[in-house]
Amino acid sequence: MSDFSALQPFLLHLPTPDDLPWIPRPAESHHVFGAGLLFIAALIGIEALAGEVWHRNMVRRMLFPGILVFLGWGMVLVAFIEPAARLVHVTMGLPMIAGGWAEGRYRLGELDRKFADALVIPALALASVDTLGFHTAGPTPVIVSHVGLGVLVLGLAGIRLYQSGQPSSLPRSLLMSAGIAVIALDLWIDAFFQTTL
């Protein structure tokens, strides 16, 4: 369903991991994105524990949204170099970019938290539906890890909705951090299955 290799002439010829050895394979990119998500989880936890002191410095305040936008563009880049799953990676990368942008605007005081959540929560739900709709093929352990990933991301959308009731709540922020860390772990498990099967 998401195999666009027949459309390669129309999508321009972009190098794939088969063409250039320094381009990461899918499992390797899952390691990178898992590490990025674990870093985001740590940042959310540190921000919550530090409180308002963290947000006094502009660089620290914008670190989380900046990394989220960076990872979103990374997903779009993966769409260009992974011919078998272009659509799924673009439709997961763009919501990450939009979510990072909205979170950044909220942190700069240019967007109300409710409007930021109106972008972030549907973006998470879209990424979940996208994962469940397009990433459920392959060996059984890979399917299970992708279904787990979709369910976890949908749960993360619910956690963000729960957190929006009290954005400064330490337990709610730490729950969000833990949810992102579990998603990172699922990506690493998925990468393990992709390399061993």
Reported as a single tens digit per residue, the pLDDT across 86-123 is 777 888 888 889 989 999 999 999 999 888 898 889 88
- The count of domains in the chain is 1
Query: Quick check: is 5 in a domain?
Result: no
Alpha carbon of residue 192 to chain centroid:
18
Domain extent at residue 114: 25-196
Query: Quick check: is 17 in a domain?
Result: no
Query: Quick check: is 77 in a domain?
Result: yes
CA torsion sign, 24 to 27 to 29 to 32? Answer: negative
Query: Quick check: is 188 in a domain?
Result: yes
**Predicted confidence band at 153 (pLDDT cuts at 50, 70, 90)?**
very high
CATH number at residue 138: 1.25.40
Predicted TM-score (pTM) of this structure: 0.82
Query: Quick check: is 67 in a domain?
Result: yes
